[in-house]
């Protein structure tokens, strides 16, 4: 159960970081002004949380290995390629799920070269690859150091509280609103 709670905290943490990243892009980079970039009411983009969990589960062991070509360690290159592929597939699937549940998706990549139906594109996929490297090599090890030492009681309270908040948000967003 402890592992499930830890992974749930990772999910929530990266969902919130994803929301902050999206809002930062809109407000500071593109200067479009603020809008809630998540599919839910709260400050989280769950697609980032799901993507982060997939990266942890699918690439965590690869990241720890040493694959070499001669004397050069190519593991980070393999991890980067894995991140790009996984995040692109997640984004594509998320666009279809959002379209099915709400009639559209929250982004449009038609202005980018090498895009597919405006749902995915090379430029954002490469950005996700870079962000995924920061996440896997810097943020996740730091977050593990914060979460792993938590007592069972603290882990229960924190993950339970966040689960209630997320559930209420889902109910509000999809059933009440």
- Predicted TM-score (pTM) above 0.85: no
pLDDT single digits (tens) 129-172: 999 999 999 999 999 999 999 999 999 999 999 999 999 888 88
Do the Cβ atoms of 116 and 148 come closer than 8 Å?
Answer: no
**CA atoms of 143 and 161, how far apart (whole Å):** 18
Question: pLDDT value at position 147?
Answer: 95
Question: pLDDT value at position 44?
Answer: 87
Phi, psi of 113 (to 5 degrees): -70, 160
Residue 172: how many other CB atoms lie within 10 Å: 13
């Amino acid at each position: 159960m402890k592992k499930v709670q830890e992974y749930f905290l990772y999910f929530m943490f990266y969902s919130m970081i994803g929301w902050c990243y999206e809002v930062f892009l809109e407000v500071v980079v593109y200067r479009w002004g603020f809008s809630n970039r998540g599919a839910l009411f709260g400050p989280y983009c769950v697609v980032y949380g799901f993507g982060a969990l997939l990266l942890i589960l699918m690439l965590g062991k690869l990241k720890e290995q040493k694959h070499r070509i001669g004397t050069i360690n190519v593991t980070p290159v393999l991890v980067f390629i894995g991140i790009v592929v996984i995040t692109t597939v997640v984004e594509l699937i998320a666009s279809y799920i959002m379209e099915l549940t709400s009639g559209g998706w929250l982004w449009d990549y038609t202005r980018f070269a090498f895009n597919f139906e405006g749902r995915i594109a090379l430029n954002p996929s490469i950005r996700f690859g870079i962000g995924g490297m920061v996440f896997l090599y810097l943020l996740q090890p730091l977050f593990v150091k914060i979460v792993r030492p938590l007592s069972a009681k603290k882990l229960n309270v924190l993950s339970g509280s966040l689960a209630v908040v997320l559930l209420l948000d889902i109910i509000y967003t999809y059933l009440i609103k």
